[in-house]
Structure 1
Amino acid sequence: MEASILGLIYEEPQYGYQLEKTIEGWGMRNWTTIGFSSIYYVLKKLEKKELVSSKLEKVEGKPSRKVFTITDLGRETMAGKIRDLLSWNKKIISPIDLGLAYLNYLPPEEVINCLENYTESAQGRIKFLESSVKTQEELGAPYYVVALFSRPLATLKTEIAWVEEFIEKIKKEENL
């Protein structure tokens, strides 16, 4: 979460509400976990770590707002975070894994039904991601922005293929 906010401030100085609008505009909640209520908490943490600095900006007819700017230490820290994020495969915890761990508590027919529902729900996400890739390409977005939608799309398609193979394995093992 810190890297998400720090990256946005790296791009340009921003105030809290502006960060929320940028997060919405970029569709960031599709690929990062940051809630509106977390933004100010993270900003305080970044400022305490001296990764960002802030100054009050007066706006005519409105209350002053605190604008955050990345510091040199923040730039160094962000570069390190990017290197780490791009270099190492990290464990991803998926809720389906917990279901798989205990699927033997359900009848095989019900497990198959659940997995078919899972696949169906994933199809909706696939349509969204395909549409997002197409939109970003049509807008001439940089390749790395398109990648924010094409990578999860590829992952999801692979997962659906695995689920479909697993359903077939259950049917074979259970003689269904």
Structure 2
Amino acid sequence: MNVRTVCLSILYEDDATGYEIRRLCVEGDCSYFVEASFGSIYPALAKLEADGLVHSRVERQDGKPSKKVYSITGAGRAAFIGALHEPLGEEIFRSPFLLFARFAHLLPADLVETRLNEYLEHMTQSKKKMEDLIAERSCNASDTWVINYGRAIMTVGEQHLRSHMQGLIKLAKAESTLKDAAE
């Protein structure tokens, strides 16, 4: 999926500003699908508008600058459905935690253990957010399926981490200093 398709997916369900689209891509429902920056969203929206797939209107706000709100057109709805028919691209998974784990052998064991426990807590909180999404919203069956898929992936990751974390801690040094790295 590309940024254009994600913009269409958001607008398929409701009108939105570029800022709202970015927020949904960072912390909202679309944050699991594709990474999208303002630098990619606004050019995508401009191209979608030029292609007649979305249109925009300016809404005035009291005491604030006006905002540009985008809506999907009938052609945009058809283009979005067409994009869903295309082959899926490769999944991209980036993890600062895995970079840390890869070099755990360079770090003190207590730091590795601390980071593992922090990451486990992060996973627990992320799973809770997904559970809360289902409980708080009236999710349709597709949304529920996607959320449950995410929960299942996190559950497997958490199980692996809990059952193998001692092995990673053992790979770490008993003591480490920045001096060791410099040598």
Counterpart contact for 1:6–1:70, Cα < 8 Å: no
Counterpart contact for 2:53–2:72, Cα < 8 Å: yes
Report the CA distance shift for 1:169/1:10 in structure 2 as closer, same or farther (over 3 A): same
Report how many aligned residue pairs link the two structures. 166
Matches of 2:57 and 2:131, distance apart in 1 = 42
Structure 2 alignment gaps of length 5 or more: 175-183
Report the CA distance shift for 1:99/1:6 in structure 2 as closer, same or farther (over 3 A): same
Query: How many angstroms does 1:95 deviate by?
Result: 1.8
Matches of 1:8 and 1:68, distance apart in 2 = 10
Query: How many angstroms does 1:67 deviate by?
Result: 4.7
Which residue is equivalent to 1:3?
5
TM-score by length of 1: 0.67
- Identity in percent: 17
Which residue is equivalent to 2:177?
none
Which residue is equivalent to 1:101?
102
Report the CA distance shift for 1:110/1:16 in structure 2 as closer, same or farther (over 3 A): closer
TM-score by length of 2: 0.65
Q: More helix per residue: 1 or 2?
A: 1
Report the CA distance shift for 1:2/1:121 in structure 2 as closer, same or farther (over 3 A): same
1:154 paired with 2:152, answer yes
Which residue is equivalent to 1:81?
83
Aligned pair partner of 2:72 in 69, 76, 98: 69
Amino acid paired to 2:8: L
Structure 1 alignment gaps of length 5 or more: none
Report the CA distance shift for 1:9/1:120 in structure 2 as closer, same or farther (over 3 A): closer
